[in-house]
Amino acid sequence: MDAASPTGFVLKLNEAHVPYVDKVKYLGIYIKSRTNCVDPSGALRSFFGCFDNILAVLGYGRDDMLAVHLVKTYCLPILLYGYEIWSMSSSDKHKVDVAWNNCFRKIFNACWRESVKPLLFYCNTMSASARYSWKKEKLLSIIRFYEVAI
């Protein structure tokens, strides 16, 4: 039995021992085994890789609104892939928000202490956690509609 596995936990499949792991990857999303919450670290790495590539291609004299459009189109889906069904800890939601906010700070050359709310408003977008809550509620309302229809 693995040292990290719960006490007395033994899982066998066709008499073969199935090891206990800290997280499992399902459809590209890592889920923590102890909490059943999503681990956004892989998505954050991919998100920043995509973001850095966009800024490198656009160069120094870039059009800021073009950069925002490209980030919203190509990077945001990477960051929030499958988020309608996520269950995340508040600290992980904060990490996702910080990543999204830091992108706007970098695009517009803002100080890390400055609020990005005016920038988000100017760019007609919302914070990552607001988008997460809005889309999750939208999904739940669609499910409720179909439950009533059936």
- pLDDT tens readout for residues 51-61: 999 999 999 88
- Confidence band for 150, pLDDT divided at 50, 70 and 90: low
Considering only residues 115 and 28, tell me which one the structure prediction assigns the higher pLDDT: 115
Q: How far is CA 127 from CA 14, 46, 100, in A?
A: 47, 19, 7
Q: Is the pLDDT of residue 83 over 60?
A: yes
pTM (predicted TM-score): 0.74
> Could you tell me the residue ranges of all domains in the chain?
1-33, 37-149
Mean pLDDT of all residues belonging to the chain: 84
Q: Is the pLDDT of residue 41 over 70?
A: yes
Q: Is the pLDDT of residue 37 over 70?
A: yes
Contact 17, 10 (CB under 8 A): yes
Q: What is the pLDDT of residue 2?
A: 45
Q: What is the CA 113 to chain-centroid distance, rounded?
A: 22
CB atoms within 10 A of CB 80: 19
Q: What is the pLDDT of residue 4?
A: 55
pLDDT tens readout for residues 90-148: 888 889 899 999 999 999 998 888 888 889 898 988 888 777 777 777 767 777 777 77
What element of type H or E holds 17? strand 16-17
